[in-house]
Amino acid sequence: METIKKSTKKQEVDKIVVRFSGDSGDGMQLTGMQFTDTAALLGNDLSTFPDYPSEIRAPIGTVAGVSGFQVHFGSTEIYTPGDQYDVLVAMNAAALKVDLPRLKRGGIIIANTQGFDAKNLKLANYTDGLNPLDNGIVSNYIVHRVDVTKHTKECLIDSGLGMKEVERSKNMFVLGLLLWMFDKPLDNTEKFLREKFARDPEVAEANIKALHAGWNYGENTEIFNTQFKVAPAKLPPGTYRNITGNHATAIGLIAAAEKAGLPLFLGSYPITPATDILHELSKYKANDVKTFQAEDEIAGICSAIGASYAGNLAVTTTSGPGMALKTEAMGLATMLEIPLVVVNVQRGGPSTGLPTKTEQADLLMAMHGRHGEAPVPVLAASSPSDCFETVFEACRIAVEHMTPVIFLSDGYIANGSEPWRFPTEDDLKNISIHFLEKIDGESLLPYNRNELFVRPWIKPGTKGLEHRIGGLEKQNETGNVSYDPVNHELMIGLRAAKVKKIEDRIPLAAADSGNDKAKVLVLGWGSTYGSIKTSVKELLSEGYDVAHVHLRYINPFPKNLGELLHNYEHIIIPEMNCGQLLQLIRAKYLVPATGYSKVQGMPFTTAELKNKILELLNV
Amino acid sequence: METYTKENFQLSPKDFASGMDVKWCPGCGDYSILKQVQTVFPDLGVPKENFVFISGIGCSSRFTYYMDTYGMHSIHGRAAAIASGVKAANPELSVWIVSGDGDALSIGGNHFIHLMRKNFDVNYLLFNNQIYSLTKGQYSPTSEKGKITKTSPYGTIEEPFNPSELALGAKATFVARTQDRDPKHMQSVLRRAHQHKGTSFVEVYQNCPVFNDGAFFAFSDKETKKEEAIFLEHGKPLLFGENNTKGIHLDGLTPVIVDITQDGVNDLWIHNEKDKTKANLIARFFDTAFDGIQFPRPFGVIYADERPVYEENLIAQINEVKAKKGKTSLNKILSGNKTWEIL
């Protein structure tokens, strides 16, 4: 290593996208998250995209095993993890092969040279062992070859750790180097490492040593002569934290339970990418959160139905395949008219599909995926932090309207993170709960409805209110079993009217960007928010007549949606499915909307969306 | 609905009749079960409003509608899972699951075994009639091999479940068998089931007069009962036969039928409910499992031993974490550990 003090140029930039890419065992997720944490603490706005294979340890060095973590951070507002990256960290040849196509022309590659030895080249299927770093493939980029493995070993030669543990610290060398490149301090990571390895101080110190070695490598070697400086973003004033969608969902549920004054019960079966919600809630035992890891998906929702019947705020969390298994029980909850929140963190389907990749293809299942006429409110979150507010709303609707509610998230926002100006306890509205305690009138009428068509919630254990409920059709008001044909139709109508009535208690739809009248409306729902917002904002700043409306409430739709849609000449609906919201909108409002589909397990890029919107703008 | 002014200790069986027309077929064994449950409930010492019935689907599962308690007639096979949630949410409730052989052991088999394993303090009544009745006569997972039904016109080719063996294998802490035609016995078993802390599994042999009439009559008919059935009592020797002249002796791990008029009673097997190994052997007095010899079918409490119940463990853990960490304020949960200010 060269030790002569060199001159380093500092360059101010607005925003940067970095992609950490390596083998599943290289610790790229951790490296990326730590880098993100530091950027967040320094006030950058950001958005992240963890992108990993479904195999826990795919064969080492192969393309199948590449795990990536992308972070977009800046001094301006950031809504997406970025279409293309400025910097690609490639720990091995396979990582370069997978991720080079989305590196910006002229971008920087930091390559771990030992990951490009003959063995790795062969594993990555580079023909004839041709090293991409040595031929024309990378000629359009700035390539920094760093023997990360060697440097890490050198700096830890006296650490007393075994070779395996030393090898494992190489991601910290990389992190140190990247933190130097972006002029960011190491203290946050040091603190993290000391906490993570509290029981193993030797390992903590070794990692910290590797981290410093990486930083010093940037500082002292001639090959790195530029540090990039990204100023803090001008976000609305307040206190911020970084949060992923799954984490926001978990604490949104806790917050809703507290604001409703109810114990929280989660019945769930582990499934990617929803499991983190179960992990997170399991930690909150001291807050009276009961988590029940059920024997299967069906028991997950059924135990939640039981807990709701007994008076808890009950939730089940899952992803597509689990959602399919829960549909019969959702019909029961619809029939019983009890509160229940069903969280579906969508992933690529059908069947096992793409478990770790994102998709929005369960919308029609959420809307219609039950037997019989069984309308259920459906809400969708638009970003990691929006999962908090949306799931809180889902809980409010469930208990205030005595109905199961489906909350849709997806793998992209569930695992992605962003800074969040979190609310305080006092900012959150109370959720009003009313348990029937005694007979109101001459006799108990468990299916007597209030002005919102909502029946009373009656807990077992309430003296004098013993009654039976079940999946068989009920006589209006009494709730007794009834096979009367006219009563059945009446009850179907009442259950539907109850769900429709929710539209009176949700906000009206309005343009998120642009005006309430424009040539082109981009209508979105769920996790496409960031990409659409970025595209539309850019187009607006370029002078185009375009607007963006984003839907959180999909059943029922906001009352004014039809009216609003008719204000626009063209409507385009981008979705990570084959046009599901498109069908709902066209069927309900008879507007000639066009769809724009992407079902690649990947979010839309801003460029893709802009091009598509421009086609309509230029009609 | 009437308003109750009586105190709970004054409850009578009538107080547990919901007033709904009971719609089982004439002669159905379910009537007897309903009657015995309504007979024992008043003096179990539970406030009426704390009883909850959860049932699945099938003839048996209509039971819920006929009891004037809280109740949910749910979906096929899932009663155990729903009951788990009810009990976890409110351990004060006395939860009774009513299920049939198809509901419990076929479509609901997974929930059945996991309920036994988790050991919630609930009662599980399995109405076993060895047939699917509500769908009008198909074989069930407890139908005997070779049985001719609408879906097995040439006889079933499947081995049936032995429910008590299955429950023991799934770590049930209380396993008993009784029958619809023996009201007093059923009442005593129901009381024991209620007293037991943990999941109490009670298999009730129940006659379906329409689709499987007489399936269990051998265990209750005067002429055959003495030879075909054996009634277990804790601490008493295993005796059966006319005038209790036959007994069961355990030779190593092999049960042997002995004639006590010749061999005496000294070497007889003394029933010990807490002995799981022996309970496993008794449960297997079901088919010709031991050297092809037919043993009498056991009735009564086969196994009863206690271990901590799920909901108590759950609450104990909550209290332990509370004591150690204390409740985290909502504001602290919202802010997490790392925050920054933007001015």
pLDDT digits (tens, 9 = 90+) for A78-92: 999 999 999 999 999
Please state, for a pLDDT cut of 70, what percent of chain A lies above it: 99
**What ipTM does this complex have?**
0.96
Distance CA B63, CA B30 (A): 8
Distance CA B33, CA A160 (A): 72
Please state, for a pLDDT cut of 90, what percent of chain A lies above it: 90
* Predicted TM-score of the model (pTM): 0.94
According to the model, what pLDDT value does residue B3 have? Answer: 45
Instruction: Kindly indicate the confidence band of residue B265, based on its pLDDT and cuts at 50, 70 and 90.
Output: confident
From chain A residues 14-73, the ones with a CB under 8 A of any chain B CB are: 37, 40-43
Q: Does A216 touch chain B if contact means CB atoms closer than 8 Å?
A: no
Q: Which position has the token pair 């007095």?
A: B285
Distance CA A394, CA A316 (A): 12
According to the model, what pLDDT value does residue A135 have? Answer: 80
What is the phi-psi region of residue A293: left when phi exceeds 0, alpha when psi lies from -120 to 50, beta otherwise? beta
Domains and CATH numbers, chain B: 8-220 (3.40.50.970)
Give yes or no for a contact between A312 and A339, defined as CB atoms under 8 angstroms apart.
no
Q: Which position has the token pair 């028991």?
A: A299
According to the model, what pLDDT value does residue A137 have? Answer: 83
**Mean pLDDT for the stretch of residues B188-214:** 98
Q: Does A265 touch chain B if contact means CB atoms closer than 8 Å?
A: yes
Yes or no, beta carbons of B333 and A255 under 8 Å apart: yes
What separation in angstroms does the CA of A545 have from each of A385, A432, A525, A608?
29, 43, 21, 18
- Determine the angle formed by the axes of helices A187-196 and A170-181, rounding to 10 degrees: 160
Residue B6 in this model has a pLDDT that exceeds 70? no
Task: Please give the class, per CATH, of domain A9-230.
Answer: alpha beta
**Mean pLDDT for the stretch of residues B31-47:** 97
Question: Looking at this protein, which amino acid is placed at residue A212?
Answer: H
What separation in angstroms does the CA of B310 have from each of A314, B75, B304?
18, 23, 17
Instruction: Kindly indicate the confidence band of residue B7, based on its pLDDT and cuts at 50, 70 and 90.
Output: low
Distance from the A460 Cα atom to the nearest Cα atom in chain B, whole angstroms = 6
- C-alpha triplet B89, A303, A353: angle, nearest 5°: 145
| Closest residue of chain A to B329, computed from CA coordinates | A287
Q: Which position has the token pair 């009863």?
A: B304
Sheet architecture: strand order including A142-146? A45-51, A66-74, A15-23, A85-90, A103-112, A142-146
Distance CA A112, CA A122 (A): 16
Identify the three-state secondary structure at position A465: coil
C-alpha closest to that of A479 among A455, A450, A461, A451: A455
Residue A216's H or E segment, with its range, is: helix A201-220
Question: Range(s) for CATH 3.40.920.10 in chain A?
Answer: 9-230
- Residue A422: DSSP 8-state: P
**Mean pLDDT for the stretch of residues A244-262:** 98
Question: Looking at this protein, which amino acid is placed at residue B148?
Answer: I
Q: Does A162 touch chain B if contact means CB atoms closer than 8 Å?
A: no
Radius of gyration of chain B (CA): 23
Distance from the A142 Cα atom to the nearest Cα atom in chain B, whole angstroms = 34
C-alpha closest to that of A466 among B93, B31, B10: B93
According to the model, what pLDDT value does residue A2 have? Answer: 46
What separation in angstroms does the CA of B35 have from each of A325, B50, B66?
37, 19, 10
Sheet architecture: strand order including A546-551? A546-551, A518-525, A568-575, A594-597
Distance CA A164, CA A168 (A): 6
Distance CA A43, CA B170 (A): 55
| Interface mutation vs chain B, best among A194, A303, A420, A478, most B CBs within 10 Å | A303
Q: What is the 3-state secondary structure (H, E, C) of A312-351?
A: CEEEEEECHHHHHHHHHHHHHHHHHCCCEEEEEEECECCC
Yes or no, beta carbons of B328 and A286 under 8 Å apart: yes
**Mean pLDDT for the stretch of residues A398-414:** 98
What separation in angstroms does the CA of A29 have from each of A172, A370, A415?
12, 38, 11
A449: which 2 tokens? 């409805």
Mean pLDDT of chain B: 95
Residue B178 in this model has a pLDDT that exceeds 60? yes
Q: Which residue of A233, A236, A295 is in closest CB contact with B114?
A: A295
Distance CA A485, CA A210 (A): 75
Residue B2 in this model has a pLDDT that exceeds 70? no
Residue A17's H or E segment, with its range, is: strand A15-23
If one counts every other C-beta atom within 10 angstroms of the C-beta of residue A12, the result is 9
Distance from the A430 Cα atom to the nearest Cα atom in chain B, whole angstroms = 13
| Closest residue of chain B to A45, computed from CA coordinates | B342
What separation in angstroms does the CA of A220 have from each of A108, A244, B176?
19, 36, 78
Distance from the B32 Cα atom to the nearest Cα atom in chain A, whole angstroms = 21
According to the model, what pLDDT value does residue A53 have? Answer: 83
Distance CA B53, CA B73 (A): 8
What separation in angstroms does the CA of A580 have from each of A120, A345, A346, A366, A589?
43, 17, 14, 11, 14
Distance CA B177, CA B189 (A): 8
According to the model, what pLDDT value does residue A4 have? Answer: 52
A179: which 2 tokens? 């933190």
**Mean pLDDT for the stretch of residues A368-383:** 97
According to the model, what pLDDT value does residue B9 have? Answer: 57
According to the model, what pLDDT value does residue A5 have? Answer: 58
CATH architecture designation of domain A242-427: 3-Layer(aba) Sandwich (3.40)
**Mean pLDDT for the stretch of residues B167-185:** 98
Q: Phi, psi at residue A267, to the nearest 5°? A: -105, 120
Please state, for a pLDDT cut of 90, what percent of chain B lies above it: 91
| Interface mutation vs chain B, best among A288, A302, A462, most B CBs within 10 Å | A302
Distance CA B168, CA A545 (A): 72
| Closest residue of chain A to B7, computed from CA coordinates | A463
According to the model, what pLDDT value does residue A552 have? Answer: 98
Judging by beta carbons within 10 Å of its beta carbon (0-12, 13-18, 19+), is residue A468 exposed, middle or buried? buried
Residue B179's H or E segment, with its range, is: strand B174-179
Distance CA A147, CA B92 (A): 65
Distance from the B89 Cα atom to the nearest Cα atom in chain A, whole angstroms = 5
Q: Which residue of B57, B88, B321 is in closest CB contact with A265?
A: B88
CATH architecture designation of domain A518-617: 3-Layer(aba) Sandwich (3.40)
Strands, E assignment, A471-510: none
Residue A595's H or E segment, with its range, is: strand A594-597
Residue A1 in this model has a pLDDT that exceeds 90? no
**Mean pLDDT for the stretch of residues A418-440:** 95
Sheet architecture: strand order including A468-470? A468-470, B70-73, B51-55, B94-100, B123-128, B200-205, B174-179, B297-304, B229-231
Name, in order, each residue with C-beta under 8 angstroms of A21's C-beta and a sequence gap of 6 or more. Answer: A28, A66, A67, A68, A69, A88, A89, A90, A91, A95, A96, A98, A99
Distance CA A147, CA A110 (A): 10
Yes or no, beta carbons of A307 and B86 under 8 Å apart: yes
Largest CA distance in chain A: 93
**Mean pLDDT for the stretch of residues B180-203:** 98
If one counts every other C-beta atom within 10 angstroms of the C-beta of residue A283, the result is 14
C-alpha closest to that of B257 among B221, B292, B300: B292
Cα A306 from chain centroid (whole Å):
29
Question: Range(s) for CATH 3.40.50.970 in chain A?
Answer: 242-427
Q: Which residue of B49, B67, B331 is in closest CB contact with A464?
A: B49
**Mean pLDDT for the stretch of residues B311-320:** 97
Mean pLDDT of chain A: 95
Yes or no, beta carbons of B89 and A304 under 8 Å apart: no
**Mean pLDDT for the stretch of residues A474-503:** 97
Distance CA A107, CA B294 (A): 82
A206-209: long-range pairs with CB below 8 Å, 24+: A206/A156, A206/A159, A206/A161, A206/A165, A206/A166, A206/A169, A207/A169, A207/A172, A208/A172, A209/A155, A209/A156, A209/A159, A209/A169
Distance CA A25, CA A48 (A): 20
Residues in chain A, overall count: 619
Distance from the B246 Cα atom to the nearest Cα atom in chain A, whole angstroms = 44
Radius of gyration of chain A (CA): 27
First CA to last CA distance, chain A: 59
